[in-house]
Amino acid sequence: MEIRNIAIIAHVDHGKTTLTDKMLAFCGELMDGGSMDSNQIERERGITIYAKNTAVNYKGTKINIVDTPGHADFGSEVERVLRSIDSVLLIVDAQEGPMPQTRFVLKKSLELGLKPIVVINKIDKPGSDVSATHDAVFELFMELGATDEQLDFTTVYAIGRDGVAMTNPDDERKDLTPLFETILEKVPVAANDTTKTFRMQAFNLAYDNFLGRLAVGRVYEGVVKAGDTVYVKSEGAETRTAKITKLFTFHGFTREEAAEAQAGDIVMLAGIPDIFIGETISTVKEMELLPAITIDEPTIVLDFLVNNSPFAGKEGKFVTSRQIRERLERELEVNVGLKVDFSSDENRIAEGFKVFGRGEMHIAVLLETMRREGYEIQISQPQVIIKDVDGVKSEPFEEVTIDAPAEHQGVIIEKLGMRGFIMADMNLKHNTVRMVFTGPTRGLLGYRNQFLVDTKGEGIMSSRVLGFRPYAGEITRRQVGSMISMESGKALAFALWGLQDRGVLYIAPNTEVYEGMVIGNTSKGEEMTVNPTKGKQLTNMRASGSDEAVNVIPAWTMSIERGLEVMTDDEFLEVTPLSVRLRKQYLTETDRSKSRRK
């Protein structure tokens, strides 16, 4: 059977997973309500976080499909997948055109010599402009240094949601046959030399409670059978031996156990407990290594600490440093964009670990997963990684693309200007303005929520990392102060009613609070210590304010991402299975004064 290997790449929300689901349904592999986004957090957020494999049979050809994430924070998932496939479907929204992550994923695939098939999706949107989008994609190919052969790309037009594709936008809209025919015509048949010795490279890892760690990879040469003894090798490491206990191939949403697998296929192997991404697996010891998989480095760092707040241990099952360490070690096995420094530092407030990630969302998803598993943890404010490049102090820079109603452009330019961003481009189309800025990643930390407020939820912002550039100097990030509780107990509606005029509250009446907990922010920008547990003084005398109704405005509920954005460098975010709380590192006013004097 012939095999074709493709990956689906695109900017966030351009329709990758929807199209993959429709391709599976078209080939009879999808049950009602099924989706490639099987992870609970992916379904809630409506985004893809982990790259996933599937396979369909079309006219006797097996097509292996890898669905990849579109968010910049999960870019490492895309990078390693592209090495194992022969072509990509580059999906572009017919209205938005190429966006920052389109550029990132296309650049990676062009560098590897892949020839993309362009799918212009959502052509039924009211604001879609098919020819302009096609021209913009062609310009992007030129800009990224595509070869003449890559520039001669095939374009398919689609409405992913309806499961239809056309080779011309005006053709009859029936089903996905034109897309599958294009794949058979344009994607090269996977090299299937079974005469050579077996060689494969792991590009993804999975975990099974019974089988342990599983290696997902492409078989480049030869044949592998269950029960074979293999050698595992990587650059600068000793060669290890292992025995393949089970072997799986992909079919639809399921993995199927197989007796053997041949060159060209994407398979999953069990029996190598210490396998890592990028390692070469072969049946001979003196094998030639496959090229290493390189991944862009992290841009932010923060501390993961044992929760030591007054409410510590009330909600979580896993609360000790050893349990957090084991969980992070497990995460490192499958999360390649993450790095953890386990060496403890004497200057820390509590025992903890330095965690390096690709962005706020990358860290927020890890924290959300951990809290659902029963972990209690507290984290410090994310900081960008500052490093020395050729003797110059450097920090990560990002390019930010913003689409927003034209009336909001003034406030966006003002806010980003204060955060060290410089406008590179601006276009106005149908009362929507597209602005491109470049500036330090530091300036983006904590801006997303502010952006939603400034654009009344109508703006779209996306970014891509440009690399390390000279340090941009001082910038203004936060214009509000913290409202700190001076008492422990239950917050009362009467007290909160009196405090809500001073800023935005993070807690509702009847919430348990402790001394040093941040219960809101102050609009004037200075820190304020307050008593949210104060009740109304009752006397026999009637006063003019006695019968005033207490109307408390709904609180700004604290989520992990919101906490990461609003916290300051002297605060911790306490994350437990049931609560997310913001607190000062030093809980009492006396301790805070002492630390400031130091």
Q: What is the pLDDT of residues 54-65, one digit of tens each?
A: 888 888 898 988
Classify strands 87-93 and 339-341 as parallel, antiparallel or unpaired. Answer: unpaired
With a cut of 60, say whether residue 187 has pLDDT above it.
Answer: yes
With a cut of 80, say whether residue 438 has pLDDT above it.
Answer: yes
Sequence-separated (6 or more) residues with CB below 8 Å from residue 88: 6, 7, 8, 9, 82, 105, 109, 114, 116, 117
Q: 46: pLDDT confidence band, cut at 50, 70 and 90? A: low
Average pLDDT over residues 60-86: 77
Average pLDDT over residues 358-377: 90
Average pLDDT over residues 386-411: 90
Q: 440: pLDDT confidence band, cut at 50, 70 and 90? A: very high
Q: Do the beta carbons of residue 260 and residue 247 sit within 8 Å?
A: yes
Write down how long the chain is: 598
With a cut of 60, say whether residue 36 has pLDDT above it.
Answer: no
Percent of the chain with pLDDT over 70: 92
Quote the pLDDT of residue 35: 53
Quote the pLDDT of residue 47: 64
Q: How far apart are CA 380 and CA 149, in angstroms?
A: 49
Q: Do the beta carbons of residue 227 and residue 252 sit within 8 Å?
A: no
Stronger pLDDT, 414 or 336, i.e. the higher one: 414
Quote the pLDDT of residue 545: 60
Q: Give the range among 55-59, 204-208, 268-272, 404-408 with minimum mean pLDDT.
A: 204-208
Quote the pLDDT of residue 346: 45
Sequence-separated (6 or more) residues with CB below 8 Å from residue 120: 92, 94, 130, 133, 134, 137, 155, 156, 157, 158
Sequence-separated (6 or more) residues with CB below 8 Å from residue 201: 83, 84, 217, 218, 220, 278, 279, 280, 281, 290, 293
Q: 172: pLDDT confidence band, cut at 50, 70 and 90? A: confident
With a cut of 80, say whether residue 120 has pLDDT above it.
Answer: yes
Quote the pLDDT of residue 74: 65
User: Per DSSP, which regions of 252-299 are E strands?
Assistant: 254-257, 260-262, 266-270, 280-282
Full-model pTM: 0.80
Average pLDDT over residues 337-342: 86
Q: Do the beta carbons of residue 300 and residue 385 sit within 8 Å?
A: yes
Quote the pLDDT of residue 375: 95
Sequence-separated (6 or more) residues with CB below 8 Å from residue 537: none
Q: Give the range among 8-12, 42-46, 86-90, 122-126 with minimum mean pLDDT.
A: 42-46
132 backbone dihedrals φ, ψ, rounded to 5°: -65, -40
Handedness of CA 71, 73, 75, 76 (dihedral sign): negative
Average pLDDT over residues 183-192: 87
Domains of the chain: 3-186 (3.40.50.300), 199-282 (2.40.30.10), 387-470 (3.30.70.240), 481-563+582-597 (2.40.50.250)
Quote the pLDDT of residue 583: 95
Average pLDDT over residues 444-453: 83
Structure tokens at 71: 């968010």
Q: How far apart are CA 35 and CA 19, in angstroms?
A: 10
Q: How far apart are CA 80 and CA 9, in angstroms?
A: 12
